[in-house]
Structure 1
């Protein structure tokens, strides 16, 4: 096989194209490294205004694209997705990337093709989060629940089998690498996803940084309620809450009568940037596979106070681990733990520099991602596995 990347025939297989989000950023950066690549996806319903990262490419889709009601309900065809992804003809390519959080890694490749799977996460709802998924979906009992359990059992078997077709696993964090090891019994290299650190930068004229900030979609697992509860019990400290979602009514009820808590709702990027740049610290209470918003806050020079599980362990330099900390990690998802950590943060705040936070965030920049991908593919193309 040729080692000249410009002549290597590259395919990128993405799960589905519906919205431009974190996994699509990865595809966009892969396309920046391999501009000659072709893109495949189970379905493509991405709005025209969000397609710029595809560079006008025609996307090859599967038969699910044309099934009834697929535009709005393609996830209902989950049981057909393993079959669909196996039908993609990738025989003309030297190097195949799969962008996987469900079934993309199940593509079929030959012995002279290299298959690199960038894993955002193994299928959460089929593995360790199955119980939570069934409960949240109201599928713990009844015939429909029994059918879904059977379907997820079948998908788990296929998921493990299809892992044998991957030559190199790449995880987006050490946490996901551990999940890959647990599920597939395979080691994974860690290449963190690209973050647009240029869009989040240090303030030209920083304010006093008095208020704490929590931002994100208000859904149960984000645990914004814990942050609000903690600050409701710390009336001397101000909290700004950005975002909306199904938990919004609960959040508003918790914040009622607490003048130190300001609810902003959903705000444009320019306002979020200003709030991040001028926050005393960014507070984060959920367990994430990676945690892009943590990097964005650090890129603004803002310390992060986060639950110490998941991708946050890769991002936040805690004062117990670094002489130049960029934030603190708390051990329990509870208001008490958050309060205790904030009190400690106030004592060590002067040890954290804006530039130190910014420098830490640059480890996760788009340029860093491209460099790691180039190093990986250069090694594979020249040395093999």
Structure 2
């Protein structure tokens, strides 16, 4: 059986990329199609896809492509439509809600979409970027109308939907009128052991992909107000860390991107992990 994997873009390493990594482990011979591949921006996780057959689009040849991740949204339906999968039996899209990967030309293949969320910015959910200022507000308002039509049209191309949570399953039903199977993102519990919890620290922990829709501001504001020690890990997106630092108190520490082993150690030693989204 010939399988192909499709992902919006590879520039940050978050939960969606973790799922893609697991899919790659399940189907090691399956090529990964994406718009752009920027391993130098993956930080400690840049080696996760070293052995993968990654096939970026022609956008890979653009200069300053790392600064065009947002604008690519507008043309992503066309980019994915140009990807022809007629020679495959199964195509699995890892849809983060950033682009429109379900526009792929699937040919005779069955298209399975692992949906992390329908696009937040066109359905009124909080997004990583601030679309409520300046020219972005005007562009965003115009794109919402077109984006919803494009997204609904793309959903018709999907044969089977998999949701990463019950909430996302609800959104798939609400916006697409489609049923889905909930399969939670994988967690390798074998990598967590007692050694990570032998030494307890006096701090709280939060982190991940530092984007506005993750609402880390709630944890930072709460711990600042209550004078509680908080450690925040993760790579900033669209200037979000700068915003968080602007009101964070002296008890809040920003660790930046950390390796998986350091992350497990920090979680094991924390008094609690704070999840805001």
Structure 1 residue 46 displacement after superposition: 2.6
Structure 1 residue 44 displacement after superposition: 2.3
Normalised to the residue count of structure 2, the TM-score between the two structures is 0.80
Q: Relative to structure 1, is the Cα distance of residues 251 and 172 closer, same or farther in structure 2, using a 3 angstrom cutoff? A: same
Q: Relative to structure 1, is the Cα distance of residues 216 and 137 closer, same or farther in structure 2, using a 3 angstrom cutoff? A: farther
Instruction: Work out whether 1:134 is the aligned partner of 2:131.
Output: yes
SS at 1:96 equivalent: strand
Q: Relative to structure 1, is the Cα distance of residues 135 and 206 closer, same or farther in structure 2, using a 3 angstrom cutoff? A: same
Distance between the aligned counterparts of 1:71 and 1:93, measured in 2? Answer: 30
CA contact under 8 A between 1:225 and 1:251: conserved in structure 2? no
Instruction: Work out whether 1:81 is the aligned partner of 2:76.
Output: yes
Distance between the aligned counterparts of 2:257 and 2:59, measured in 1? Answer: 35
Q: Relative to structure 1, is the Cα distance of residues 126 and 68 closer, same or farther in structure 2, using a 3 angstrom cutoff? A: farther
Structure 1, residues 326-368: CA drift from partner, whole Å, max 9, x if none?
xxxxxxxxxxxxxxxxxxxxxxxxxxxxxxxxxxxxxxxxxxx
Distance between the aligned counterparts of 2:247 and 2:210, measured in 1? Answer: 8
CA contact under 8 A between 1:98 and 1:105: conserved in structure 2? yes
Partner of 1:35: 28
Q: CA RMSD in A?
A: 3.1
* Ranges in structure 1 where 5+ consecutive residues have no aligned partner: 1-7, 288-385
Instruction: Work out whether 1:99 is the aligned partner of 2:94.
Output: yes
Distance between the aligned counterparts of 1:214 and 1:97, measured in 2? Answer: 31
Q: Relative to structure 1, is the Cα distance of residues 239 and 20 closer, same or farther in structure 2, using a 3 angstrom cutoff? A: closer
SS at 1:246 equivalent: helix
Partner of 1:160: 152
Q: How is 1:192-341 mapped onto 2 (pairs within 5 angstroms)?
A: 192-203=184-195, 206-207=198-199, 211-216=203-208, 220-231=212-223, 234=226, 238-243=228-233, 245-252=241-248, 255-256=249-250, 261=251, 263=253, 265-266=255-256, 268-269=258-259, 270-284=261-275, 286-287=276-277
CA contact under 8 A between 1:242 and 1:267: conserved in structure 2? no
Partner of 1:351: none
Distance between the aligned counterparts of 2:218 and 2:148, measured in 1? Answer: 33
Distance between the aligned counterparts of 1:229 and 1:14, measured in 2? Answer: 34
* Ranges in structure 2 where 5+ consecutive residues have no aligned partner: none
Distance between the aligned counterparts of 1:18 and 1:98, measured in 2? Answer: 17
How many residue pairs get aligned? The number is: 264
SS at 1:24 equivalent: helix
Partner of 1:179: 171
Structure number with larger C-alpha Rg: 1
Structure 1 residue 210 displacement after superposition: 5.1
Q: Relative to structure 1, is the Cα distance of residues 247 and 85 closer, same or farther in structure 2, using a 3 angstrom cutoff? A: same
